[in-house]
């Protein structure tokens, strides 16, 4: 079997989190490639959740060893997608991970189904947290806005179907409108975020003007482009 030269590829897809496409069955080659990417973009990939796409691997792989190898790099697999044969499907389900279609919206082990109230783009409540959000902690506000009245440490992750407000120092990752609502916004009093995203569009800290760092900002989508402006 002839495989492409690059054994893996990261792509932005319909998900707001990275999708890792496996292109090799060789565990050591895949591991080296993943660690190389993490070293290149440590702020983005540290404690990062990923969706694993197996569409390039058509025959049966050693799923148990492959899963353990990926987890050992520090990445957190939250779902599997791509073409999967029945035998492999049974192994994946047995290991406790969900298999999703690329036509679905999926965040933090929550699949938004067609009958979900979110199809009407309605936000029914607000989730408020007054304590600091530590590194590695992940907060998801389902069908609601999210308000953090404290600091968010590097490596933490905020996710909301609605708007997100951070009244403190923001050093982690923040993703609003994850149900696909492009009208959602992000507000932050002291902005140092590793990653910001609204409805799948995202920017890394290295792509954000240094003049905005440490400032109060609001973030929104304008013509499908993520825009960041100082708070007046």
- What is the value of pTM for the model shown? 0.54
pLDDT score, position 73: 92
Do 85 and 122 reside in the same domain of the chain? no
Do 142 and 165 reside in the same domain of the chain? yes
- Residue 144 in domain: yes
Lowest average pLDDT, out of 42-46, 197-201, 218-222, goes to 42-46
pLDDT tens column, 174-190: 999 887 788 999 999 99
Considering the chain, what is the average pLDDT of its residues?
80
- Residue 214 in domain: yes
Do 98 and 122 reside in the same domain of the chain? no
Do 221 and 153 reside in the same domain of the chain? yes
Do 97 and 121 reside in the same domain of the chain? no
pLDDT tens column, 159-170: 898 999 999 999
- Residue 188 in domain: yes
Q: How many domains does the chain have?
A: 2
Do 97 and 122 reside in the same domain of the chain? no
Helix (H) or strand (E) holding 45: helix 42-45
Answer yes or no: are the C-beta atoms of 8 and 26 closer than 8 Å. Answer: no
Do 91 and 130 reside in the same domain of the chain? no
Do 50 and 84 reside in the same domain of the chain? yes
- Residue 3 in domain: no
pLDDT tens column, 40-81: 877 677 667 888 888 877 566 788 899 999 999 989 888 888
d(CA 166, CA 148): 5
Q: Looking at 77, 103, 129, which one is the last position of a domain?
A: 103
Whether pLDDT at 105 is above 80:
no
Do 132 and 68 reside in the same domain of the chain? no
Give the domain CATH number at 147: 2.160.20.70
Q: Looking at 68, 103, 138, which one is the last position of a domain?
A: 103
What is the separation, in whole angstroms, between the first and last Cα of the chain?
59
Give the domain CATH number at 48: 3.30.70.260
Q: Looking at 73, 103, 133, which one is the last position of a domain?
A: 103
Choose from 94-108, 140-154, 193-207 the range with maximum mean pLDDT. Answer: 140-154
d(CA 18, CA 3): 22
- Residue 110 in domain: no
Do 69 and 94 reside in the same domain of the chain? yes
The parent domain of residue 14 ranges over 8-103
Do 93 and 124 reside in the same domain of the chain? no
């Amino acid at each position: 079997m002839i495989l492409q030269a690059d054994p893996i590829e990261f792509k932005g897809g319909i998900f707001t989190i990275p999708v890792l496409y496996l292109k090799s069955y060789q565990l050591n080659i895949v591991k080296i490639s993943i660690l190389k990417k993490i070293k290149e973009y440590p702020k983005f990939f540290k404690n990062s959740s990923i969706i694993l796409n197996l569409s390039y691997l058509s025959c049966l792989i050693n799923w148990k060893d492959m899963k353990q190898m990926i987890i050992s790099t520090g990445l957190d697999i939250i779902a599997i997608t791509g073409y999967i044969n029945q035998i492999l499907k049974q192994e994946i389900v047995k290991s406790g991970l969900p298999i999703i279609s690329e036509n679905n919206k999926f965040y933090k082990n929550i699949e938004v189904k067609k009958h979900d109230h979110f199809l009407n783009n309605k936000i029914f409540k607000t989730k408020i947290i007054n304590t600091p959000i530590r590194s590695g902690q992940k907060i998801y506000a389902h069908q609601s806005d999210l308000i953090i009245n404290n600091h968010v440490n590097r490596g933490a992750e905020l996710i909301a179907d609605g708007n997100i407000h951070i009244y403190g120092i923001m050093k982690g990752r923040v993703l609003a409108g994850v149900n696909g609502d492009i009208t959602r916004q992000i507000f932050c009093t002291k902005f140092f975020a590793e990653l910001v995203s609204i409805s799948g569009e995202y920017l890394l800290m290295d792509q954000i003007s240094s003049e905005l760092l440490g400032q109060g900002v609001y973030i929104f989508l304008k013509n499908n482009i993520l825009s960041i402006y100082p708070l007046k």
